Amino acid sequence: MAARSVRLFLGIFFSMSLAFPFSAFSQGKPFKKIHVGVPSVSVANIIIYVTKEARLYEKYGLDAEVIAINGSGIASKALIGGNLDIVPVATPTVIAADLAGSDMVILAHTMPGVVHALMVKPEIKRVEDLKGKKIAVSSLGSLTDFLVRAIAKKKRLNPDRDLTLIQTGSDSDRIVALKSGVVDGAAMSHPGYGRAKKMGFTMLWDSAKELDYPWMEITTRRANIKADRETIMNYMKAHLEGIARFKKDRDFGIKVIKKTLRIDDDELINESYDIFSKMFLPTPYPNLAGMKVSFEYVAATRPDVWKHKPEEFADSSFVEELDKSGFIKKLYEK
């Protein structure tokens, strides 16, 4: 009877282990619920979905709910309001919000540059042809809004006077708006601009070649760090392991891209994987030097930004700890 009881117990235990592989049996405590925002469903944000699909959040004791939101502008409000715990928010949006009294902070820049382009109707040949035209962005205050305005200014256009920026949601929504003629141009990432190119639209500019802009921030609030630093650190561990999984496992990365973006074009998917797998940084310290462009942009409405230093809007301690402890190095040993 004792042997049967032991076998029964082991059977129940292993059944539960299969059903809940990262449960309280291994963690010693229940999962911590967090809300993770995604400003746009794109390959740029794919690491959040890779981390979710690979169950890495659970590995580090987190019950992560991933919530899609249109643009950094809206995402930042959700973060400030406490509806999100962590979300990629564009650097200039973080800076501007903090100058207005917020406590957002950048923990990492996971890419050294931005994979983005402005796609336009074929009849638009030169930057000057943009005058009076409608350009689709995800939302005002978002990354796409920032890129269009910053590059337009660089090319001696006044974005407030010469352009009409239209809030249009996701890359897919922007492609529909471009195809239907609702807008004359649309700012988007890949594979969005690859799809637009196949439809006959042309690239007026490649944002990565126009701006030295560190990208794909990991952003939270200082209040969250103060209240529960362990949870934020566990999120960082999961996210950085997600980057490693994406970079090392092409088949898994492509599978997640297909599932998340619902695209069947293998050529575009493979192209996206090749671009982004090279771009994601294994050790993504906040790029303080690269924040200069964001300062210049914010200064147009808040010239007092020059009284501040990039360090005031970032916290490098999480990546530094994971770097110096050897955690990141171990992710790439196998």
Supply the CATH classification number for the domain 117-210.
3.40.190.10
CATH topology of domain 27-113+214-331: D-Maltodextrin-Binding Protein; domain 2 (3.40.190)
What tens digit of pLDDT does each residue of 144-168 get?
Answer: 999 999 999 999 999 999 999 999 9
85: closest CA among 233, 269, 191? 233
The model's confidence at residue 28, banded by pLDDT at 50, 70 and 90, is: low
Give the angle 6-8-9 at the CA atoms, nearest 5°: 65
The secondary structure of 85-101 as a DSSP string is: SBB---HHHHHHHHHTT
For the segment 317-332, the average pLDDT, to the nearest whole number, is 98
Asked if the domains 27-113+214-331 and 117-210 are classified in one and the same CATH topology, the answer is: yes
Cα-Cα-Cα-Cα torsion 258, 22, 78, 328, nearest 10 degrees, comes to -80
Name residue, tokens 């009284």: 307
Residues 6+ apart with CB under 8 A from 249: none
Distance CA 80, CA 98 (A): 10
What tens digit of pLDDT does each residue of 79-118 get?
Answer: 999 999 999 999 999 999 999 999 999 999 999 999 999 9
Q: How high does pLDDT run on average in the chain?
A: 91
Locate the domains of the chain by residue range: 27-113+214-331, 117-210
Distance CA 234, CA 62 (A): 8
Distance CA 190, CA 195 (A): 8
In this structure, what are the phi and psi dihedrals at residue 250, rounded to the nearest 5 degrees?
-60, -45
